[in-house]
Amino acid sequence: DAKTTQPPSMDCAEGRAANLPCNHSTISGNEYVYWYRQIHSQGPQYIIHGLKNNETNEMASLIITEDRKSSTLILPHATLRDTAVYYCIAYGGATNKLIFGTGTLLAVQP
Amino acid sequence: DTEVTQTPKHLVMGMTNKKSLKCEQHMGHRAMYWYKQKAKKPPELMFVYSYEKLSINESVPSRFSPECPNSSLLNLHLHALQPEDSALYLCASSQQPPGTVNYEQYFGPGTRLTVT
């Protein structure tokens, strides 16, 4: 499975959009980009996933570049409850395992 | 119901004890997973059950013994653990096992295990 690279931490003001980047330059054609988040002391929570096209759901939007080497998770109006570690995962391929990287700690500030 | 439940929430056990962690889902999911998460680290996959059969064992020591009695239940039996096994143990489930279409995994809140 492709390795992903994320910044270790980011800040965002409450009410503003949070844009979380992820690099996955070695992603293969059959690997999906998945995003999960983990709020402190809770289990990870699925957010969104995509293969090639941009995706949107009630939680977030996922923008995948045309070459699929990077993506951005967008939380349109961040709240304090969005403070969490966000994991970008390339899932599928040969091993088909959800392999978590170190993620990005997003701190939403009041 | 999109919930995965885990019991107990907290467990303290000695190195000679035998205990079990329990996980339950009623979403009709056919794959279930155990993950281990050490403090300030990401979750690490331990076991995968597909259609109640063990399909992946990530070279986990035999002191951890998984069991899937039926499609809704997943247990993790613990015996002769070491203090370094102290961690958050997470259970997850997905509609189908990983394959051509990868379904999202739903995680439980975890069991925080302390081995003394």
For B62-73, how does the pLDDT look when each residue is reduced to its tens digit (9 = 90+)?
A: 999 999 999 999
What is the nearest CA distance from A34 to chain B, expressed in angstroms?
8
Question: Is B44's CB within 8 Å of A91's CB?
Answer: no
Identify the weakest region by mean pLDDT among A15-24, A38-47, A92-101. A92-101
**pLDDT-derived band of residue A24, with 50, 70 and 90 as boundaries?**
very high
Distance CA A45, CA A56 (A): 16
Q: What is the gyration radius of the CA atoms in chain A, in angstroms?
A: 13
When CB atoms are compared, the residue of B42, B99, B106 closest to A100 is B42
The pLDDT, as a whole number, for residue A97 is: 85
Query: Each residue of A58-76: pLDDT tens digit?
Result: 999 999 999 999 999 999 9
Output DSSP code: residue A5: B
Query: Each residue of A35-50: pLDDT tens digit?
Result: 999 999 899 999 999 9
| CB of B101 less than 8 A from some CB of A | no
Least Cα distance to A31 among A50, A7, A13, A14 occurs for A50
Interface test with A, best of B27, B40, B102, B106 (most A CBs within 10 A): B102
| CB of A98 less than 8 A from some CB of B | yes
**Model confidence at A2: pLDDT above 70:** no
Residues in chain B closer than 8 A to A92 (CB atoms): 98, 102
Q: Which residues of A66-78 are buried (b: 16+ CB within 10 A; e: fewer)?
A: eebebbebbbeeb
Question: Is B109's CB within 8 Å of A43's CB?
Answer: yes
| CB of B59 less than 8 A from some CB of A | no
pLDDT above 90 covers a percentage of chain A that reads: 80
Query: Each residue of B9-35: pLDDT tens digit?
Result: 999 999 999 999 999 999 999 999 999
Distance CA A35, CA A50 (A): 9
When CB atoms are compared, the residue of A34, A44, A92 closest to B43 is A44
For residue A71 the two structure tokens come to 């993506």
The pLDDT, as a whole number, for residue B96 is: 86
**Model confidence at B2: pLDDT above 70:** no
Q: Which residues of B39-52 are buried (b: 16+ CB within 10 A; e: fewer)?
A: eeebbbbbbbbbeb
